[in-house]
Amino acid sequence: MIIKVAKNAGFCFGVDQAVKTAYAVLSNSEPGTKVYMLGAITHNEFVVNDLIESGMHLANSVDEIDQGSTVIIRAHGVTPQIKDAIEANHCKIVDCTCPFVKKIHKIVKQESQKGKRIIITGKNGHPEVEGIRGEAEDYVTVVESQEDFDLLETDPENTILISQTTFSSSEYKKIRQNAKNKIANEQFFDTICSTTENRQREASDLAASSDCMIIIGSEKSSNTMKLYDICNSRCANTFLVGGVHDIIKVLENPVFSTPNIVVGVTAGASTPDCIIREVIQTMSEDQATANQEQTDINFGDYIDNIPQLRKNATVRGAITSADNEFVYVDVHDKSEGRIPRHEFANDPDFDLDVAIEAHTEIEVFVRSVRNSDMGKEILLSKAHVDFGKYKAQVEEAFENATPVTVKITNVVKDGVIANLGGVDIYIHRTQLDLTTVNDLDQYKGKSIEILVTQFDPDKRRLRVSGSRRALLNSQRKEKADEVWSAIEVGAEYQGVVRSLTDFGAFVDIGGVDGLVHVSELSWKRIRHPSEIVSVGDNISVYVKDFDSEKKRISLGYKRSEDDPYHNVEERFPIGSIVHGKVVRMFQFGAFVELEPGVDALCHVSQISDVRLNRPEDVLTEGMEVIARVLDVSNETRRISISIKDVEAINPVKSDDEAFDKAEKEEQVVASVEDNVEVPMETDSDAVVSTDEIPTEEVSLEDAQTEEASTDEMPAEATEEVVEK
């Protein structure tokens, strides 16, 4: 017979604490003071009878308790009303309610005060359920199965779901899964005791791999009967035994005579270790023909299955569940250990959801073990174990110059902190890319590949530095050799814009940077490359020229098919009439936009019928004009036009100028007709006013008028005028 004992068999923390407290109260009570347990302290006749024989009294109600007695409340807990009745009877209360049950009492009380409905998954009438119900009688509904729950109508925002600590974890998970439409997410409270869940899961696995299953416990115990149901569903030969007297009868079953039969053993939370040991010992002694050495080893294994975790030890455990703060691990102790959830974020290859589903075993470091009111608290660390493992990996990467993938977790003053399995690696801002990075926040949360450039384990704290730039440069060099071996004029590449200058953009075409001159970026006139491209843009370029010795490459970006002057001779033939808008003016003429990107020059002499000093005399920017094409060339990319060939634009004189000119012309004509001599000053000190000097020249018409007047004069008058 091969005996396999479940690691989580026997007393749970709550029952164990209650039984130990009961014996302690008995031994320390004053003479004459009665000590009562209100209800059987555990569903095990051996333990209850032993306590009674030791002097303790069993009371099933408050009415059975004498005044002034000491009353022990068992792990199941009681209602607040019962506590009040005990105190009213002047009795001393020793509350051994399980910490997990106390937590449920607190939740129900708080949530019911908010007016919320409480649904408990558990067994109606069970002492634990009845104690919880007493916190909010009018608000509590108990469901024993998924079918019961499906019949309920709920208000999702005002309903919560909790569970009896010993309820079937698989049944609870089914109910919770189907409750998402009936209860809001934040209103689920997973209150099944972790030890109970581990015990049920372990029993299920053990039953599946055993020929027979022995369940040690009382049929009155809720959690024991759940173990029996679970094992019976996976192993046909499942037997419930209360102690040694039962196992002797069970061993008479012919199935136990099978050679090398595998027998699995587990026990409910109310079963003390002594009974479990007696049952196993009886099984061993009864099998006279069995391999005694094998049986002894398995019995010894059971003793070892109650491990004593110690601080700073490294142990293995199975991941069972998680919440927002912690991940819970079964380390084969009465209580589960917990790991801060953020430690799993440092391992990008670890899928926590999959690990929980598969109950993946991992190595963990025991940071601390201490007892509290909530039971044994075991704080574990995955990062501590990972640190040692990944520290060796980082050191190897440093020595062999092999790249590693890290996740950036934090931004500091001059760089970032990356992490590889708990090992922090500093990367300076100049080492994040081929150029200095100013915006460090964009890297937070990203995974990148780097080279480890410093590994110093001799300091008090491990110092590790890395560089992505060194890796990129190494990769660029390899790619550059490929580019130079195959480069040719006209070859096209997909490149990345690395930097911008006033004269152009540098583009990485795969390990080599080429220059796209600012004139090659666009067919239109631009002042800076940033008008067309930005750093980091992926663009298509082609090789215009290169020098392998000087390692220089000239690239083109604009395409001939996009040239606005393409086939301009066909689109604007000589002699055609065009319509455009004045866009720029110079001393020599004005540029007129015929199409976007196509400008024609109208020389200053081709604007007006009169001579202009500058185009601004008659034109303004934005002014629309009509002109004739005089010359056009695809090769020189020039178009000449004439405005005056269509309709000249002549300057217009103002009304004041015209009036002044007409007045002066009349004065000249009048002086000639009247032979009026304009006296001249002879005084040498006299100053002639510049205002009296005529500024207008005599026009051709004026000159003709004057000549006609003198011809009509008599000869004598003419001579007289001449003399004068």
| Positions marked catalytic | 128
Given a contact cutoff of 8 angstroms between Cβ atoms, the answer to whether 127 and 39 are in contact is yes
The upper half-sphere exposure of residue 673, i.e. CA atoms within 13 Å in the direction of its Cβ, equals 8
Whether the Cβ atoms of residue 238 and residue 203 lie closer than 8 Å to each other: no
Using left for φ > 0, alpha for ψ between -120 and 50, and beta otherwise, residue 603 falls in beta
What residues does 93 pair with on adjacent strands?
A: 71
Nearest to 349 by CA among 404, 283, 391: 404
Helix or strand (DSSP H, E) at 180: none
**Rounded distance, CA 661 to CA 696, Å?**
8
Q: How far apart are the first and last CA of the chain?
A: 164
Q: Two tokens at 230?
A: 């679970």
Task: Write out the two tokens for 588.
Answer: 């020599």
How far apart, in Å, are the Cα atoms of 58 and each of 29, 225, 231, 590?
16, 24, 33, 115
- Sheet containing strand 238-241, edge to edge, reads 2-5, 262-267, 212-216, 238-241
Query: DSSP of 264-299, one letter per residue?
Result: EEEE-TT--HHHHHHHHHHHHHH-TTS-HHHHHHHH
> Which tokens in the block code for residue 687?
């100053």
| DSSP conformation class of 139 | G
φ/ψ (deg, to 5) at 168:
-60, 120
CB 654 within 8 A of CB 624: no
Rg (CA), the chain: 51
Alpha-carbon distance 60 to 70, whole Å?
15
In one letter, which amino acid is 668?
V
Between β-strands 326-330 and 337-340, what pairing exists: parallel, antiparallel or unpaired? Answer: antiparallel
For residue 313, count other CB atoms closer than 10 A to its CB.
Answer: 13
Fill in the amino acid letter for 320. T
List beta partners, residue 322. Answer: 327
Q: Does an H or E element contain 115, and which?
A: none
CB 277 within 8 A of CB 306: no
Closest by Cα among 434, 484, 432, 483 to 453: 432
Q: Characterize the bridge pairing of strands 513-517 and 463-467.
A: unpaired
CA contacts within 13 A on the Cβ side of 82: 25
Which distant-in-sequence residues (6+ apart) come within 8 Å of 83 by Cβ?
73, 93
What 87-93 contacts at long range (C-beta under 8 Å, 24+ apart), as own/partner pairs, is: 89/62, 89/65, 91/65, 91/67
Q: State whether residue 226 is helix, strand or coil.
A: helix
HSE-up of residue 647 (Cα within 13 Å, Cβ side): 6
* Cβ contacts of 92 within 8 Å, gap of 6 or more: 69, 70, 71
DSSP H helices in 54-145:
80-88, 99-113, 127-133
Cα–Cα distance between 638 and 631 in angstroms, integer? 8
CA-CA distance, 240 to 219, in Å (whole number)?
A: 8
Tokens standing for residue 497 = 């814009």
Q: How far apart are CA 607 and CA 628, in angstroms?
A: 11
